[in-house]
Amino acid sequence: MNIGIDAGGTLTKIVLDAPSGRVFYKRNSEEYRKLIEELNRDYPDANYFVTGGKSALFAAELTGNVKTLEEFDATFTGLKRILKEADINIDRFVYLNVGTGTSIHVAEDDAQKRIGGSGVGGGTFIGLSQLLVGESDFDTLVRLSAEGNRDHVDLKVKHIYGDEEPPIPGDLTASNFAYVLNDTSNITDADKVQAVAGLIAETVMTIGLTIGATRDMKNIVLIGSTLTNNDVMHEISHRYGQMLGANTYIVEQGEFSGALGAIYV
């Protein structure tokens, strides 16, 4: 059996690639010892393909046959497979891996190039929300954000232009969180968390769109566990991309690109 492991800053993604089909699951990276014990017990002779910032922890302690792979190539290999299997046929695109932080890449001529990174990512979603509303559980925050309205928090272009016709869509955010300076009376915790989701989604989309504009690429692909079942962030990203003329793809199980790709690099 081949097992791919992407040990990230927050979550470890595991893909069991069995002939009967693939099994995908995730664990908190802090609990790596327990996971290694389980894998050594259940699959002592497996072929392990490990990648990600914390891969060395696994490479040292797994008893099977272990190979360590570079994270960016593994992720690109996995992403290509996932896109193909989802029948998404694009070959030139910008992709952003919105993990704990965000990694920015361009795909072209069947190769990827890492353009850079941003500290605005899934860790920001949790950390900033913890500061603002005292909650850091990801699923709870995702649920809470869906009940909010970030119009109470964010300043839009139309707020600045008033009765004048703006040269860009009035619904675009002019300044995340700046509406707070006009009126704080109606802001709920849900509004705040939705605004945090907006800040992250719009920031990473802006990075993607800006990189894309310099290369005439209209396809933006978002992966990473920050997007997992995160309807609010999906919606904001799609809407933002649409307003600015991009095609936004958020692929199902895209967060497993690294773990899957490690097996096939």
> What residue ranges bind ligand ATP (CB under 6 A)?
8-11, 52-53, 99-101, 122-123, 125-126, 138, 224-226, 228, 255
Give the Cα separation of 132 and 183 in Å (integer): 17
Break the chain down into helix, strand, coil percent, rounded to 5: 45, 25, 30
4 counts as binding Mg ion under rule CB under 5 A: no
Kindly tell me the burial class for residue 31, based on how many C-beta atoms sit within 10 Å of its own C-beta (0-12, 13-18, 19 or more): exposed
What is the rounded radius of gyration, in angstroms, for the C-alpha atoms of the chain? 20
Task: Tell me if 248 sits within 8 A of 237, measured CB to CB.
Answer: yes
Of 53 and 64, CB closest to ligand ATP: 53
With contacts defined by CB under 5 A, how many residues of the chain interact with Mg ion? 2
Which of ligand ATP, Mg ion, none binds 11 (CB below 5-8 Å, type-dependent)? ligand ATP
What are the E-state strand segments in 19-101? 21-28, 47-51, 65-68, 93-98
Instruction: Please state the closest distance from residue 130 (CB atom) to ligand ATP, in A.
Output: 11
254 counts as binding Mg ion under rule CB under 5 A: no
Of 4 and 8, CB closest to Mg ion: 8
Of 140 and 186, CB closest to ligand ATP: 140
Cβ neighbours around 177 below 10 Å, total: 17
Which of Mg ion, ligand ATP, none binds 170 (CB below 5-8 Å, type-dependent)? none
Binds Mg ion by CB under 5 A, chosen from 8, 148, 241, 261: 8
Which of these is catalytic: 70, 71, 135, 255?
A: 71
Catalytic residue flag (residue 108): no
Task: Tell me if 9 sits within 8 A of 55, measured CB to CB.
Answer: no
Of 106 and 190, CB closest to Mg ion: 106
113 contacts: CB under 8 Å, gap ≥ 6:
105, 106
Give the binding site for Mg ion (CB under 5 A): 8, 99
Q: Report the catalytic residues.
A: 71
